[in-house]
Structure 1
Amino acid sequence: MAPQRAFSRFIPTSLAPPAPVRNFYTFGFCLLALLGATSRVQAQSSDEPSYQKEFTYGINFNTRGGLIGGVAVRSTRVLDEKWSRFWGVEGVEVKHPKEQRALNGNTGGSFVYGKSNYLFVIRPSYGMQRVVFRKAPESGVQVNALLGAGPSIGLLMPYYIYYDYTVRENRPGAPVQEDIRSEQYDPEVNSIRDRILDRAPLFSGASDTKVKFGAHIRGALSFEYGRYRDAVAGIETGFLFELYPKELTILRAQNINDGTLNTNFYPSVYLTLYIGHRS
């Protein structure tokens, strides 16, 4: 049966649209289908990031550090519109939660009483990052979730103090020959607080640094803001768990075992402010 006759069987001839109108309908349906497919492709392509690599660096604040915990750098490579992988290196100082700074009223020097070692940690990390909320191309905030892990290289560097060994006789006019030494704090040798004059320069004990190996794992959320496609700035906040095979001695005290006063497990909460660029 011819197409015209089949059409007229279901629609009366008086109501059937003329051939030019039917062709216009057919063309309109095809155009709408083409526009719909194009819009889907554009929507998919708009979700794809406009960069493949990202390099950031920043400063770290954490509950185990001082005013500034340390510094961090990170390189990120985009895998798809949701996932990225990264590697980074972080260098921080880890402090004992019971550290307290003291002053010598006679000399004005400051020191941490009982501190025997500095602990500096280098943390290479590798991990994955997922986009939770993607920002607009030129403004807004992007939220990422990340999980990373890696080795921890602990550097135990002796904490040196200036200690006064001068012997003073209790008689007027007796000659005094000062004996002031720079040495690592030892509760069995130089625990008399009034004889500690000041802390020695930071790297006085660098030659006696001991290396300790451990491991760490971190989880965090990052909130990044970039007004331009090739620049990025943001905040990363999360938790970090760090473990060593044995206790790391930071503080020492008389009549207390070093293992009781110190630990091998270092949990912390951290915040990193970072800037960087994309390509």
Structure 2
Amino acid sequence: MPRFFFLWMILVVPFCIMGQRKSTAPQKKEINASASSWGIGVNTNTNSGLLGGFSFIKTFKNRSFINLDFTNTKDYREFDSPFSYNGKTYVEGKLNYLLNLRPEYGRQWALLKQSSDGGTSLNGRLATGPTLGIQKPYFVDIIYTDAAGKSIQTSVPMANALDNTYSKSVISGEGSFFSGFSEAKMVPGWHLKTALEFKFETLKQNYLALETGFIIDYFSQPVEILNQTTPRSVYTTGYVTFFFGKSK
């Protein structure tokens, strides 16, 4: 959480300063803030690494919008194993990935309008919709000894590497992210999002925007991410998304 607030200060404050500088200029006619627009974005959040996911947003003239997020949720207690094999690492005790697909509908309100000479506009947003959680096994590469005494290397779910399914096994590193999708299961849920959008118009009706806010996800059943931890049904996330888009 401290990392998120530090990132929030670094990224949001410059947008506010730009908006303040513009506000000191002579007042001109305001642009049409209710124009429709679309945008694509990249996300970082408190439950992920630097790259947390991707977003697509479509805003309508009546100030409603639809949005689609695809993100990865990590447990805040995750850490890389201090023991590496040939320089390869893995997440200690990680049993599953939790991938989230969030279609949502929302409304936005203008808190600071943008004048015709440019500057920054500020919108408040509230959205909700289903969360389609994908619980996918986390795979690791292991080296084990078979009944004939032969050393074999393979990729297995972390759960099998921990339950002595493979005798005399050693985890040699993280497996492929794409392994295990055939074993993934859906965990439906619902989410609520509150956000602020700092929007900066550029040339030819293109725009750059920064959206920052909080999301709460509630799943229909507890999701287990780490070994020997209590599975949770509720996850909260602070996030920042950078959008590039076009107004109509």
Taking structure 2 as the reference length, the TM-score comes to: 0.81
Q: 1:232 aligns with which of 196, 207, 214?
A: 207
Secondary structure at 1:102's aligned position in 2?
Answer: coil
Distance 2:180 2:37 in 1: 38
1:143 alignment partner, one of 113, 122, 136 = 122
Structure 2 CA distance, aligned partners of 1:114 and 1:104? 13
Q: Does 1:274 align with 2:243?
A: yes
Structure 1 pair 51–242 and aligned structure 2 pair: CA distance change class (3 A): closer
Could you say which structure has the higher helix fraction?
1
Match of 1:9 in 2: none
Distance (whole Å) between structure 2 residues aligned to residue 139 and residue 161 of structure 1? 51
Residue 153 of structure 1 aligns to which amino acid in structure 2? L
Q: Which has the higher strand share?
A: 2
Shift of 1:138: 3.1
1:77 corresponds to? 60
Cα deviations across residues 143-189 of structure 1 (Å, max 9, x unaligned)?
A: 10010000000011111111222269xxxxxx952122321112323
**Aligned pair partner of 1:265 in 209, 217, 234:** 234
Aligned length: 218
Separation in 1 of the partners of 2:94 and 2:155?
14
2:145 aligns to what SS in structure 1? Answer: coil
Which gives a bigger RCO, structure 1 or 2 (Cα 8 Å, sep 6+)?
Answer: 2
In structure 1, runs of 5+ residues without a counterpart are 1-45, 169-174, 254-259
- In 2: Cα distance, 1:238 partner to 1:209 partner: 29
**TM-score normalised by structure 1 residue count:** 0.72
Q: Please state if 1:206 is matched with 2:181.
A: yes
Q: List structure 1 segments (4+ residues) > 6 angstroms apart after TM superposition.
A: 190-194
Asked which structure has the greater CA Rg, the reply is 1
Is the 8 Å Cα contact of residues 96 and 135 (structure 2) preserved in structure 1? yes
Question: Structure 2 CA distance, aligned partners of 1:184 and 1:99?
Answer: 17
Q: Residues 106-255 of structure 1 correspond to what in structure 2 (within 5 A)? A: 106-166=85-145, 177-186=150-159, 187-189=162-164, 195-228=170-203, 230-253=205-228
CA deviations 1:97-134 (Å, max 9, x no partner) are 11111254442211011111111100001000011111
Show structure 2 runs of 5+ residues with no match: 1-28
Instruction: For residue 228 of structure 1, report the CA deviation from its aligned partner.
Output: 3.5
Shift of 1:56: 0.8
Shift in alpha-carbon separation, 1:52–1:106, aligned structure 2, 3 A: closer
State how far apart, in whole Å, the 2-side matches of 1:208 and 1:71 are.
Answer: 24
Deviation of 1:262 (Å): 2.2
Q: In angstroms, what is the RMSD of aligned CA positions?
A: 2.3
In structure 1, what is the Cα distance between the partners aligned to 2:33 and 2:138?
A: 49
Q: Does 1:68 align with 2:51?
A: yes
Shift of 1:243: 0.5
